[in-house]
Amino acid sequence: MNKDRKLIIAGNWKMNKTVAESLDLVRGLKIELANIKEVDIVICPPFTALSEVSKAILDSNIRLGAQNMSEHNVGAYTGEIAAVMLKEFSVRYVILGHSERRQYQKESNELIAKKAAAVHAASLKPIVCVGETLAEREAGKTNQVLETQVRGSLVGLSKDQITESIIAYEPVWAIGTGKTATTEQAQEAHAFIRRVLVSMFDETVARRVRIQYGGSVKPSNARELMSQPDVDGALVGGASLEARSFADIIKNSI
């Protein structure tokens, strides 16, 4: 694949997998994915499995991500997890602002921007999710929604920090529904997000930022999606819960 940005494919396990099930999945992934160097491979298990998974992937090409993080460093925030706690398990990436958290936990762009700043302050990399609902797309508001989310969720980041950030374009209507955006829809949205980055930062910075596509990615559609000029990887939900399908997405993307 002739892109100057390295592909990054991450599995978002959401609220799935006990520790034993997580270790089982990791065992399969290590076999399937051994020797793949062309793609940055990330798995994001639930918090409860980070400790054991972290040890299990020590000798592998798989990196660890978390599904959320507090914007605070320490203190009286019941149920929250701080950056320093994630770093104990060698977590490198943190998913922020997933549409499920925007919807169920009412996370705002403002909160996500605070979390992104905290992630960078800890030298971790955020995977910042943005995406429109079906109603917004049908009302012709996709670009407007994406611009508001990108600007609002990344406000305050320096050029160096944005370069180290990953953006995940995840049309809400394609998440867990089996409906994938067409390659044209994905490319169009990714190119638009990159144009927003040009206006927030500059051309050089915008060219460096990796933008993942997420929404019912599977082995059969990965190659076509990844071949788009502005698609730099995938954030995978359902298909990342099984070693063979996640591995095939990665292999088909190279």
The set of catalytic residues is 98, 170
DSSP bridge partners of 128: 96, 167
**From start to end of 215-253, where are the E strands?**
233-236
- Shortest approach of ligand PEP to residue 245 CB, angstroms? 10
Among the listed residues 29, 94, 116, 175, the single contact to ligand PEP using CB under 6 A? 175
Interface stretch with ligand PEP, choices 60-68, 69-77, 135-143, 235-243 (CB under 6 A): 235-243
185 touches 224 (CB < 8 A): no
By C-beta, is 41 or 236 nearer to ligand PEP?
Answer: 236
Torsion of CA 136, 137, 141, 146, to 10 degrees: 90
Among the listed residues 215, 226, 230, 247, the single contact to ligand PEP using CB under 6 A? 215
Residue 66 binds to ligand PEP (criterion: CB under 6 A): no
Please give the full DSSP string across 12-40, using - where no structure is assigned.
E--S---HHHHHHHHHHHHHHHTT--SEE
Among the listed residues 193, 236, 243, 249, the single contact to ligand PEP using CB under 6 A? 236
Here's the x/- map for ligand PEP, 2-21, by CB under 6 A: it reads as ----------x---------
- Shortest approach of ligand PEP to residue 156 CB, angstroms? 25
- The Cα 126–Cα 66 span in angstroms is 9
By C-beta, is 187 or 216 nearer to ligand PEP?
Answer: 216
Interface stretch with ligand PEP, choices 43-51, 72-80, 108-116, 236-244 (CB under 6 A): 236-244
Residue 165 binds to ligand PEP (criterion: CB under 6 A): no
Coil/strand/helix, residue 184: helix
- The Cα 93–Cα 106 span in angstroms is 22
- Shortest approach of ligand PEP to residue 174 CB, angstroms? 6
- Shortest approach of ligand PEP to residue 179 CB, angstroms? 9
**How buried is residue 223: exposed, middle or buried, by Cβ count under 10 Å (0-12/13-18/19+)?**
middle
Structure-block tokens of residue 142: 């996709």
Residue 216 binds to ligand PEP (criterion: CB under 6 A): yes
Residue 233 binds to ligand PEP (criterion: CB under 6 A): no
- The Cα 67–Cα 64 span in angstroms is 10
Q: Give the footprint of ligand PEP on this chain (CB under 6 A).
A: 12, 170, 175-176, 214-217, 235-239
